[in-house]
């Protein structure tokens, strides 16, 4: 339950700004905020005093980076003087690439990873448009030259969240961040 906090504690907005400096361990150009895995930041009052609770949703339930992300969030907040922090994991609703920020999508592109296609509410429409289908019929633009003349090499890239493609125009290999 959120109650009135002692004065001198940082605002929730300030904490969100701090979390925006915590990099994803697998794609360091993205912050955990850009990735959309930070779901909620709130102060709660307990018998021992105010506690900052940060709720995260991993990109998938078995993501090996989740432990590192929790540690990095905790470390970043402790470096700013917060010693009463709890990181909670929320698996439902499941993380979706729709939670990524536009800035995060742009950073992926600049880093050489094709960002995920925007999902639509109607799942059958998404499938018929090939937006989330990882078959070879999906057109994924090359993040280096912009060509749509690309081909799927493997449904899994450098991490399970990505697929591996090659551009037939510039001949460069690249990862595509799969939409979920």
Per-residue pLDDT of the chain (180 residues; tens, 9 = 90+): 344 445 689 999 999 999 999 999 999 999 999 999 999 999 999 999 999 999 999 988 888 889 999 999 999 999 999 999 999 999 999 999 999 999 999 999 999 999 998 655 434 433 433 445 444 456 899 999 999 999 999 998 888 889 999 999 999 999 999 887
| Domain architecture of the chain: domains with CATH | 12-89 (3.30.300.130), 102-177 (no CATH)
pTM (predicted TM-score): 0.82
Instruction: Output the pLDDT for position 8.
Output: 83
> How many whole angstroms separate alpha carbon 32 and alpha carbon 20?
6
22 near 77, Cβ under 8 Å?
A: no
Q: Are 24 and 94 in contact (CB under 8 A)?
A: no
Question: How would you classify the pairing of strands 85-89 and 162-167?
Answer: unpaired
Which structure tokens are listed for 25? 């361990």
pLDDT at 7: 62
Q: Measured between alpha carbons, how far is 161 from 180 in angstroms, rounded to an integer?
A: 9
Q: Which residues contact 76 (CB under 8 A, 6 or more apart)?
A: 18, 19, 21, 22
């Amino acid at each position: 339950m959120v109650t009135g906090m002692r004065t001198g504690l940082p605002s929730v907005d300030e904490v969100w700004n701090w979390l925006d400096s915590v990099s994803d361990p697998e794609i360091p150009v993205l912050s955990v905020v850009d990735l959309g895995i930070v779901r909620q930041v709130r102060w709660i009052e307990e018998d021992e005093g105010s506690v900052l609770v940060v709720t995260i949703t991993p990109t998938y339930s078995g993501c090996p980076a989740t432990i590192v992300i929790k540690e990095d969030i905790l470390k970043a907040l402790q470096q700013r003087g917060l010693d009463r922090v709890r990181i909670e994991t929320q698996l439902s609703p499941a993380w979706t690439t729709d939670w990524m920020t536009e800035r995060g999508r742009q950073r992926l592109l600049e880093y050489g990873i094709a960002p995920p296609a925007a999902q639509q509410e109607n799942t059958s429409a998404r499938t018929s448009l090939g937006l989330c289908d990882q078959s070879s019929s999906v057109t994924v633009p090359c993040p280096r030259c912009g060509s749509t003349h690309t081909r799927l090499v493997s449904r899994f890239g450098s991490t399970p969240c990505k697929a591996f493609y090659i551009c037939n125009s510039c001949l460069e290999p690249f990862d595509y961040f799969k939409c979920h």
